[in-house]
Structure 1
Amino acid sequence: MPYPIDPIVLSYVQAEQLQQAQKQGESSLELSPDLGISTITVQISEDGVTFPEGERLSWQQVQKIKRADVNCFVLNREGEIEPIRFFSEHTNRMCSLMPTRHTPTMLIAGFTMHRIVNIDPMEDTLKKVAAIAPLTGRVLDTATGLGYTAIEAARAATEVVTIEIDPGAHYIARQNPWSRDLFANPRITQLMGSSYDLVPTFEENSFDRIIHDPPVFSLAGDLYSGVFYRQLYRVLKRGGRLFHYIGDLNSKSAGTVTRGALKRLQESGFKRVVRHPEAFGVVAYK
């Protein structure tokens, strides 16, 4: 099992830096132990890498991390490296913390939960949130994932209610250094369960903003249904805004999903639905 508090988490990015330092004959290196959030000084020798608290990595372990492009690794107390992944019996899907050059994303059943081509996952999150700015009052986040949306929304909102169906995703978020505020910010309320089942239990007109960022249609078709859209409309306050992530609105593959979503949103009562291609989604107004 990983450390209970602030474990060392590494990816191929840090492994590359370590190998480069070794190649150049360096005896120490400023390295991030938490995927780019902070830095520490590690010692480099022929045997491997030593961290300030005595944790060690062999060069064989560094090479193993370097070869993995879909997994981040945690260094445990026994000096072993473990990939941050979880097979969820609830969904029958494998979840893993996937590194990028910047903020990590999550890989579920082969699908990344953020855009990563020519964009950083955090930048992707900021574009979604900006589409319904300003964020005020109570915000509903229908798919927690790594919690980036909830964390960003909580900077301005009075309360963020975020829902996650998959215990595997919840486990991965627990291991992700970039998700710490999801568990530390008192303005964030986490619920475990299906948004399809939980949203109908909320009071009418109880949210000022909704961020609906579901998995792809093939994994969560019910979250693109008219039945669910009507529930989102019901719990949104008059004058409120809903951001719905769909995918590249200009792509052929997302075209059918986009047209269907626009039609069902309007049929659900939303008076205006505006495309936001920069955020890969639409904004619906009540």
Structure 2
Amino acid sequence: MPEQAYPIVLSYIQAATLLEARKQGRERIELSPDLGISTVNVTLTPEGVTFPCGEQLNWRQIEKIRKAESNCFVIEDNQERTIQVFSEATSRVCSLYPTQRTPTMLIGGFTMHRIVDIDPMQDTLKKIKTLAPLAGRVLDTATGLGYTAIEAARTAQEVMTIELDPGAQEIARLNPWSRQLFTDPKIKQVMGDAFEVVPEFESESFERIIHDPPVFSLAGELYGGEFYRQLYRVLKRGGRLFHYIGNLESRSSGTVARGALKRLQEAGFKRVVRRPEAFGILAYK
């Protein structure tokens, strides 16, 4: 029996594929065991489904997964478990939220990426593009699922990424799309509050900064002048900072953006411009 390097992770998308195959009377189909990254051959029987690693699910379990369109499930010892944790650090529930491609994280009811007419990976690439070329040392102030750090590490010399919440990191460990966060030697993870961690870095030690904090209502201090001054301090001369805000055309994000733009200028950034296509602001030192 082949050994499974990583646990199987499924969403309603894979469950729907299985149920349709059952309806068609299929006995074997190709199915992704990792939310669309790869495929394996699975066996269908009247009782349920068997994966090459030996894991099995019955049709009742698959029906349950199919109905849960806001959750992803890890399969262990023939049992499905919702990828969801209650964070003691933030007193919020974190969960892995499926999309047609790359999943996002749900924290306190807020998705951590754009998912309307775009998937989380496309969202990440738009942020990265504002800072191209990414080289040297890069600071990522909010790890989340690690997509930003993973993409930045493709060209950067080193990526320093900060995560406040152990619960969020637990979700990332179970997300197939986050694996490089834990295996890429160019990515250095720091657990802690960015508001407290960034002041500990040496001045002018990063060529690029990606500041993609939780929404203002969850982390207002990361939108403040004091923190912006620290980001300015650790950024090298000639460096750039991308600050994700949200849809700049919306009333709430537009208000946040105007305040952030003003405070970034006051912090010392010589030029601050709106980047509506990436839902954020670009600041130059």
TM-score (norm 2): 0.98
CA contact (8 A) 2:4 2:53 kept: no
Q: How many Å apart are 1:5 and its aligned residue?
A: 4.3
Residue type of the alignment partner of 1:201: E
Matched to 2:12, the amino acid is Y
Aligned: 1:124 with 2:123? yes
Distance in 1 of aligned mates of 2:201 and 2:51: 48
1:201: which partner in 2?
A: 200
- Which secondary structure does the structure 1 equivalent of 2:34 belong to? coil
The SS at the match of 1:256 is: helix
Structure 2: distance between partners of 1:165 and 1:276? 27
Q: Does 1:111 align with 2:110?
A: yes
- How far has the Cα of 1:279 moved from its partner? 0.5
Tell me, which stretches of 5 or more residues in structure 1 are unaligned?
Answer: none
Tell me which amino acid in the other structure corresponds to 2:280: G
C-alpha spacing 1:4/1:17, structure 2 compared with 1 (3 Å): closer
Residue deviations 1:190-240, cap 9 Å, x none? 000000000000000000000000000000000000000000000000000
Structure 2, gaps ≥5 residues long: none
* Count of matched residue positions in the alignment of Structure 1 and Structure 2: 283
Corresponding residue number in structure 2 for 1:258: 257
Partner SS state of residue 185, structure 2: coil
Give the Å deviation of 1:253.
Answer: 1.8
| Higher mean displacement: 3-12 or 159-168 | 3-12
Aligned mates of 2:179, 2:217 — CA distance in 1: 30
Aligned to 1:221: 220
Percent of aligned positions that are identical: 69
Other-structure match for 1:17 = 17
Residue type matched to 2:171 in 1? I
Q: How does 1:43-58 map to 2 (within 5 A)?
A: 43-58=43-58
Give the counterpart letter for 1:6 in structure 2: Y
Counterparts in 2 of 1:207-286, with a 5 A limit? 207-286=206-285
Rounded Cα–Cα distance in structure 1 between residues aligned with 2:251 and 2:97: 27
- Report Cα offsets for 1:13-45 as digits up to 9, x if no partner: 100100110111111110000000000000111
Provide the residue aligned with 2:164 in structure 1. 165
Distance 1:67 1:218, change over 3 A: same
CA contact (8 A) 2:139 2:206 kept: yes
One-letter code aligned to 1:50: T
Equivalent residue for 2:133?
134
Query: Structure 1 residue 53: deviation in Å?
Result: 2.0
The 1:84–1:270 alpha-carbon spacing in structure 2 relative to 1, beyond 3 Å, is same
For 2:94 and 2:69, how far apart are their aligned partners in 1? Answer: 14
Report the AA paired with residue 66 of structure 1: R
Aligned to 2:35: 35
CA distance in 1, matches of 2:96, 2:168: 9
Moved over 2 A (4+): none
Q: Could you give the per-residue CA deviations for residues 29-84 of structure 1, whole angstroms, max 9, x where no partner exists?
A: 1000000000000011111111112211111000110111221001112x110001
Amino acid at match of 2:265: Q
- 1:136-151 alignment to 2 at 5 Å? 136-151=135-150
Task: Report deviation, 1:4.
Answer: 9.3
